[in-house]
Amino acid sequence: MAAIVALLLCSLILIFSIGSSMVHALTSNYYDQTCPQAESTITNVVKKAIIEDKRVPAALLRMHFHDCFIRGCDASVLLDSVGQNSAEKDGPPNVSLHAFYVIDNAKEAVEAICPGVVSCADILAMSARDVVALSGGPSWEVPKGRKDGRISNANESLQLPGPTFNFSQLLQSFSHRGLSGADLVALSGGHTLGFSHCSSFQNRIHNFDATHDVDPSLNPTFAASLRSVCPANNKAKNAGSNLDSTSTAFDNTYYKLLIQGKSLFSSDQALMSTSKTKELVSKFAASEQAFRVAFVKSMIKMSSLTGGQEVRLDCRKVR
């Protein structure tokens, strides 16, 4: 009898340990014993970087999204190209990736207090939370314990949803990663921060379709101003527009403008194309608080897509 109980217990323990090694459940207190100062150390580095450059919040939020959508949040976006292998950050839609140095600085500061403990994927996730909070948005506990991946391929950056995607393409991209239409609406609110190059919305302001030069869902005055910044044969590599009129404040202006036909991307406008998502857009435009609550919930969901195996020592290189 005792032997059977012991056997049962052993197999239960075995099942549990196999389970946890596969699932890697993330926890908010993951570094409480091993690196209690990780969180505040990272926040301090991020704060300093924002004082030097107001574009840092948008860059890090976008970087985290990009990371999570390719191979899970495993810091694959941070790896540099090596030899013949061209990394994600050198893939086609990389024009908007910048400020990698901030993550390098945060990693260096954390390595100085607890070497080899805190993953780059966690540092990026915490930084994304910090930039939102430091831009006037909500703050939240970031579940931690992500591991860093060993693979980064330029061709995989094409797995990101594109700005010309319609609603069904967007939903497919999100549901492929376990994210819903509601997550899509809330996370698109990340476009309350930052800047876009002309190339990302060129499709809406020139040669839109067989009958319209300009996307008819765009507000005409807004479209005209975009066309003056981004002419048909745009030669200015750095030309573009802020994503919303308050591009350094994390607020619900993005949704208010979207309702007025003043969003930049077809993928933003696509949120207005189904009744369910349109209702959410109206809700978030009317209530900043509703947006904040939904954004936090969806960010935690997106940033819990894990995929790595190790803790890197240098965020640009596999161990």
Ligand X SMILES: *[C@@H]1O[C@H](CO)[C@@H](O)[C@H](O)[C@H]1NC(C)=O
289 binds, among ligand HEM, ligand X, none (CB under 5 to 8 A by kind): none
The nearest distance, CB 160 to ligand X, in angstroms, is 14
* Residue type, position 263, single letter: S
The single-letter DSSP state of residue 153 is -
SS3 260: coil
Phi, psi of 239 (to 5 degrees): -70, 155
Q: How many residues does the chain have?
A: 319
Distance CA 210, CA 317 (A): 47
Which CB sits closer to ligand X, 135 or 152? 152
Query: Any contact of residue 203 with ligand X (CB under 6 A)?
Result: no
3-state secondary structure 123-140: HHHHHHHHHHHHCCCCCC
Which CB sits closer to ligand X, 90 or 104? 90
Which CB sits closer to ligand HEM, 53 or 279? 53
Phi, psi of 30 (to 5 degrees): -50, -40
Under rule CB under 6 A, which residues in 95-114 are in contact with ligand X?
A: 97-98
Query: Any contact of residue 217 with ligand X (CB under 6 A)?
Result: no
- Interface positions with ligand HEM (CB under 6 A): 55, 58-59, 61-62, 65, 95-96, 161-163, 165, 170, 184, 187-188, 190-191, 193-197, 200, 243, 265, 267
CB 214 within 8 A of CB 223: yes
The nearest distance, CB 53 to ligand HEM, in angstroms, is 11
Q: Which residues pair with 310 in a beta bridge?
A: 148
Tokens describing residue 292 = 């904040």
Radius of gyration of the chain (CA): 21
The nearest distance, CB 315 to ligand HEM, in angstroms, is 18
Q: Is 66 an active-site residue?
A: yes
Judged by CB under 6 A, the stretch of 109-117, 165-173, 223-231, 261-269 that binds ligand X is 165-173
Binding site for ligand X (CB under 6 A): 85, 89-90, 94, 97-98, 153, 155, 166, 168-169
Would you please indicate which residues are annotated as catalytic (active-site) residues? 66
